[in-house]
Amino acid sequence: MAVSRTRNIGLPLISLLRLNGMPILEQLHLEERLLRSTSENWCLINNGTTDPTIVMGVSGKPVELLDTESVLRDEISVIRRYTGGGTVIVDHATIFVTFICNKDAISGLQSYPQPIMCWSSLLYKEVFQGIGDFTLRENDYVLGNRKFGGNAQSITKNRWVHHTSFLWDYEISRMGYLKLPKRAPQYRQARDHLEFICRMKDYIARSDFIDRTISAVGSHFQLRYSEPKAIQWPRGTKFEPSSRLLRKEELDEAICKSSAVSALLSL
Amino acid sequence: MADLPVGGVIDVPLAQTGEGIAECELLKWFVQEGEEVEEFQPLCEVQSDKATIEITSRYKGKVSKVLHVPGNIVKVGEALLRMVIDENASILPSVEAAQDLVAQDSKINELDIADSVLKKEKIRGVLSTPAVRNFAKQLGVTIEDVLGTGHDGRILREDILNYAARKGILKASSEILIEDSSAKNFLGDQTSPNVSSAYVWEFEDRSLPLRGFHRAMAKSMTLAAKIPHFQYVEEVNCDALLDLRASFQNEMSDLGIKFTFLPLLVKSLSMALSKYPLLNSCFNEESQEVLLKGSHNIGIAMATAHGLVVPNIKKVQSLSIVEITKELSRLQELALSNKLSSDDVSGGTITISNIGSIGGKFGSPLVNVPEVSIIALGRIQKIPLFDEDGNLCPASIMMINISSDHRVLDGATVARFCNEWKRFIEKPELLMLQMR
């Protein structure tokens, strides 16, 4: 979609990667590699992922966050990602948008969680202009008072990444794999999960959301379209991604440990 | 923050991360006990509510004791590690102040969103930007003594000037003022005041941070420099081209379009590319693959007041010369007013740089990554040539330089391609044979 509007001098360059159905683990590996091995600014948009997958934050503990028995029974993959934040379950109806930027890419923006969150909300405000009552509420993207996008970040010495999984649509049964987290935002007000979230498809067409996001990115950056095959990785650097799939034994172990603790306490 | 005890041991605390939370989880250490550490070196990674954050060192020194292990929950303000500070270490006010500021920002409400994103620094109760603080330093003004008249009591540049004038500092430092304000104008700073000054010689260096197109150019040229280029130079007789342009201008004056050489060159280039598609490709280094592009999206390098920009005309093979002329005109107008869309400047497959319109016999351009070829056109010059009968006659000659990626193209291919293109330029009637 062509964007024609006045540009200010000094807009930073960003490379846009438009992906379709890339497996979420592959996306996380790509993101982390772009964060740590390149010095360009990137925007990734992944339109859905393949199989339903649970993605936990970097220090997420399965036994606290998941109904591990049903996760194991139904053989749902669980990933521990390289960024902080909470737990989500993603599938073909999730849209991912990621920004990877240099610390000084955006004039005046300090690379701390809150300023980055605020900046991102300005961008998404443009996306939802005239569509819905979009706001940033305690680090969540909400329409009205219902969450439709969860965010996480990683801030390194010279760069930062801010990524979001947007609930285009979701299956109610899958939400059952996630437990109520220990720390919930105040605005949730003890609502049940399904009363707390909403579907983006009730507000905007899928392709419209992606187009409007690209357009909004284009008003903050000079866009350059790229593709994963065209990325020039620096030579001679070995990269080990941090995001990984948890093994069954790790989820099993979580069950064993928690049962053992319960057994001890009952003695 | 405490004064820096030179050569002594200090506790390095976990600073506020700006989310208004009281604690973080320590994820991993990047340093160990006994290790020498530089300023800004990453020390460890912590996790707050939503983010993993690398904590960097404010000091140069040596890690004497690590106080937490990964997995520990560390309270904000609690010491993470102990360090022995170097004799020459100095605390950086901007880092410290930024962290103090972030603590403030954690209480912002939604109305203050734009405000929280602005870069402010607060040192010992004073609000001002780094530029204003530097300016005060240059004038020898103690910023804490200045009364701020900006929003929230912010100290503005004018406040520094007024204070300096009152204290008699301003007169002695007029030279610095002049240089500073001229440098700021050059960098596009909006706060530079209208300072009247006597004429002085300027011998000082001026720093020009790269922005916008210029910065993008620096980045893409750094990439292009890694490519092994070779140059192919040829002369093209443009007599027929000049006649054709004149004919178009006379016969088609009612269209209201100004005909130049470029659309003719672009169309004939596309015809030649149909026969030599390797020049219309891009190279993937990682997979060692050449992708032959289906569309001829011919980029035209343009020099604008904002810098070098290369918009491209899409699918030239399907456009008439009139359509190319109109599209070129549209792109030129947008480029001059800095209104090109991202679509206009992306997806190019080959580039023409008409550097001759400014001057020069020929150029040696760098390929516009990820393309594999770029063509520089020199100025058309009238020079004497011998014709077939040995008579001297004037000819309009243009030098062209085709600069190519030697990993994809060889001299023979480029030479044959150039011969084909040259044929179309020198005998444009041949275009009619190929046109659909």
- Please give the Cα distance from B416 to B413 (Å, whole number): 5
Name chain A contacts of B101, Cβ cutoff 8 Å: 110
Does A164 reach chain B within 8 Å, measured CB to CB? no
Burial of A17 by CB count in 10 Å (0-12 exposed, 13-18 middle, 19+ buried)? buried
Q: B8-85 belongs to which CATH class?
A: mainly beta
pLDDT of residue B115: 38
Whole-number Cα distances in Å, B126 to A20, A139, B148:
50, 29, 9
Burial of A30 by CB count in 10 Å (0-12 exposed, 13-18 middle, 19+ buried)? buried
**pLDDT-derived band at B267, boundaries 50, 70, 90:** very high
Answer whether residue A267 shows pLDDT above 60.
Answer: no
pLDDT of residue B385: 84
Task: Give DSSP secondary structure letters for chain A.
Answer: --------TTPPEEEEEEEES--HHHHHHHHHHHHHH--S-EEEEEE--SS-EEEE-TT--HHHHB-HHHHHHTT-EEEE-SS-S--EEE-TTEEEEEEEEETTSSTT--SSHHHHHHHHHHHHHHHTTTTS-EEEETTEEEETTEEEEEEEEEE-SSEEEEEEEEES---HHHHTTBPPPSS--GGGTT--HHHHB--GGGTS-HHHHHHHHHHHHHHHSEEEEE-GGG--PPTT-------EEPPHHHHHHHHHHHHHHHHHHH-
pLDDT of residue A164: 95
Q: How many domains are there within chain A?
A: 1
Nearest to A187 by CA among A138, A125, A135, A121: A138
Nearest to B406 by CA among B228, B281, B231: B228
ipTM of the complex: 0.78
Answer whether residue B5 shows pLDDT above 60.
Answer: no
- The residue segments making up the domain with residue A220 are 3-266
| Backbone φ, ψ for residue B115 (5° rounding) | -65, -40
- Please give the Cα distance from A182 to A22 (Å, whole number): 31
Looking at the partner chain, which of B40, B212, B287 has a beta carbon nearest the beta carbon of A9?
B212
- Please give the Cα distance from A109 to A103 (Å, whole number): 8
Answer whether residue A3 shows pLDDT above 50.
Answer: no
| Segment of A10-14, B234-238, B283-287, B354-358 carrying the highest mean pLDDT | B234-238
**Percentage of residues of chain B with pLDDT beyond 70:** 71
Contact A58 B52 (CB under 8 A): yes
Average pLDDT over residues A227-234: 88
Average pLDDT over residues B93-109: 37
**DSSP run (H or E) holding B139:** helix B130-139
Cα radius of gyration rounded to whole Å, chain B = 31
Q: Torsion-angle region of residue A63: left (phi > 0), alpha (psi -120 to 50) or beta?
A: alpha
- Please give the Cα distance from A12 to B231 (Å, whole number): 32
Name chain B contacts of A157, Cβ cutoff 8 Å: 40, 42, 54, 56
Are B155 and B126 in contact by the 8 Å Cβ rule? The answer is yes
Contact B27 A59 (CB under 8 A): yes
Answer whether residue A263 shows pLDDT above 60.
Answer: no
pLDDT in tens, A111-167: 888 889 989 999 999 999 888 889 888 888 999 888 899 889 999 989 999 999 999
Name chain A contacts of B210, Cβ cutoff 8 Å: none
Looking at the partner chain, which of B50, B116, B346 has a beta carbon nearest the beta carbon of A139?
B50
Average pLDDT over residues B328-351: 85
Does A59 reach chain B within 8 Å, measured CB to CB? yes
The CATH topology of domain B227-433 is Chloramphenicol Acetyltransferase (3.30.559)
Tokens of A83: 């960024």
Contact A117 B50 (CB under 8 A): yes
pLDDT in tens, B215-258: 667 777 777 778 888 999 999 999 998 888 888 777 766 666 66
Mutate to test the interface with B, among A1, A5, A7, A40 (most CBs of B within 10 A): A7
pLDDT of residue B296: 94
B151 belongs to the catalytic site: no
Contact A3 B343 (CB under 8 A): yes
Comparing alpha-carbon positions, the chain B residue that sits nearest to A137 is B110
- Please give the Cα distance from B200 to B219 (Å, whole number): 36
Q: Among A152-161, A192-201, B111-120, which is the least confidently predicted range?
A: B111-120
Q: Torsion-angle region of residue B306: left (phi > 0), alpha (psi -120 to 50) or beta?
A: alpha
pLDDT of residue B223: 73
Nearest to B89 by CA among B62, B67, B64: B62
Could you say which of B11, B115, B145, B406 is catalytic? B406
Average pLDDT over residues B268-277: 93
Comparing alpha-carbon positions, the chain B residue that sits nearest to A40 is B219
Name chain B contacts of A58, Cβ cutoff 8 Å: 27, 47, 52
Looking at the partner chain, which of A5, A13, A110 has a beta carbon nearest the beta carbon of B98?
A110
Contact A231 B286 (CB under 8 A): yes
Contact B49 A233 (CB under 8 A): no
Give the CATH number for residue A93. 3.30.930.10
Number of A–B residue contacts, CB under 8 Å? 152
Does A203 reach chain B within 8 Å, measured CB to CB? no
Predicted TM-score (pTM) above 0.80: no
Name chain A contacts of B219, Cβ cutoff 8 Å: 13, 40
| Interacting residues of B42 by C-beta distance below 8 A, sequence separation 6+ | A156, A157, B30, B54, B55, B56, B57
Q: Chain A closest CA to B418's CA: distance in Å?
A: 28
Contact A112 B118 (CB under 8 A): no
B388: number of Cβ within 10 Å: 5
- Please give the Cα distance from B108 to B106 (Å, whole number): 6
Does A185 reach chain B within 8 Å, measured CB to CB? no
Does A258 reach chain B within 8 Å, measured CB to CB? no
Name chain A contacts of B215, Cβ cutoff 8 Å: 10, 12-13
Are A258 and A49 in contact by the 8 Å Cβ rule? The answer is no
Q: Torsion-angle region of residue B402: left (phi > 0), alpha (psi -120 to 50) or beta?
A: beta
Name chain B contacts of A6, Cβ cutoff 8 Å: 338-339
pLDDT of residue A253: 67
Average pLDDT over residues B131-139: 77
Ranges of each domain in chain B: 8-85, 227-433
Answer whether residue A85 shows pLDDT above 90.
Answer: no
Name chain B contacts of A152, Cβ cutoff 8 Å: 50-51
Q: Chain A closest CA to B39's CA: distance in Å?
A: 11
Looking at the partner chain, which of A7, A113, A183 has a beta carbon nearest the beta carbon of B18?
A113
Q: How many CA atoms lie less than 13 Å away from B92 in the CB half-sphere?
A: 13
B91: number of Cβ within 10 Å: 14
B229 belongs to the catalytic site: no
Residues 78-137 of A with CB under 8 A from B: 82-86, 108-110, 112-115, 117-119, 121-122, 135-136
Does A12 reach chain B within 8 Å, measured CB to CB? yes
Between B325 and B363, residue with greater pLDDT = B325
| Amino acid at site B51 | A
Q: Chain B closest CA to A222's CA: distance in Å?
A: 7
Contact B219 A155 (CB under 8 A): no
The CA dihedral of A155, A156, A160, A161, to the nearest 10 degrees, is -70
Contact B117 A157 (CB under 8 A): no
